Amino acid sequence: MYISEHMTPDPITVSSDMLLPEARRMLNTYNIRHLPVVDREKKLVGIVSDRDLRSAYPSSVSSKHDKIVAFEQVEKTTVADIMTTTCAALSPDASLDDALLVFDREKIGGIPVLSEEGVVLGFFSILDLTAAYRKLFGMAEKGSVLIGVEDDGRDSILSEIVILLEQNGIALTRLIRLADKNEAAKIYMRINSQRPTEVYKLLKTHGFSLLQ
């Protein structure tokens, strides 16, 4: 699955000379957490987040005088003064796995999606990633049930599961085998069934050990 299928296309962007109060209003108005900063050709030059803006504003524990001075300074400060210029970015044909690796490495909440020329085409957030994986693994589907079984080492165990469920008219939508160096492999399947207890019984009857 590609991030182009799940990103926000044509996201709200701002120019680097926008003042911070206006940028803050835009974040609140559109209920977003990131603003890509672009030049006149819509090419990415930086990004400003709600965290950046919170850091720029005076602390709630500051004195009244200090707050007044700080607010006066903020009103004159532009996005260019606080934006991040070394931004991680991805192309539209990047996969969900590519995005996951970037999120994990950079510890960020959103990634601009750029054309080959650096033009902002979209924005992909950690919430978009979560929603995409929920769809990928069928978590939102009606009647969806996740079942885990132990992998006993048989070479044909996956095909045996598929054939068994197919022969009994049980809709198998996902099948994953997870192996760990220090633990026995585990198999997870997602089925669509209104009677999961009957599926559990069927698997046990045919020699599969369910994960607790």
pLDDT average, residue stretch 144-160: 91
Report the distance separating Cα 92 and Cα 123, nearest Å. 10
Sequence-distant (6+) residues with CB within 8 A of 205 are none
Domain spans in the chain, listed from the N-terminal domain onward: 3-135, 144-205
Q: What is the pTM of this model?
A: 0.77
Q: Give pLDDT tens digits for 24-77.
A: 999 999 999 999 999 999 999 999 999 999 888 766 656 776 676 666 788 889
Report in angstroms the alpha-carbon separations of 83 from 16, 23, 71, 202.
Answer: 8, 11, 18, 58
Evaluate whether the domain defined by 3-135 bears CATH number 3.30.565.10: no
pLDDT average, residue stretch 128-141: 84
Q: Give pLDDT tens digits for 172-189.
A: 999 999 887 777 889 999
Write the CATH number of the domain with boundaries 144-205: 3.30.70.260
Q: Give pLDDT tens digits for 94-132.
A: 999 999 999 999 999 999 999 999 999 999 999 999 999
Question: Cβ(191)–Cβ(144) under 8 Å?
Answer: yes
Question: Cβ(177)–Cβ(186) under 8 Å?
Answer: yes
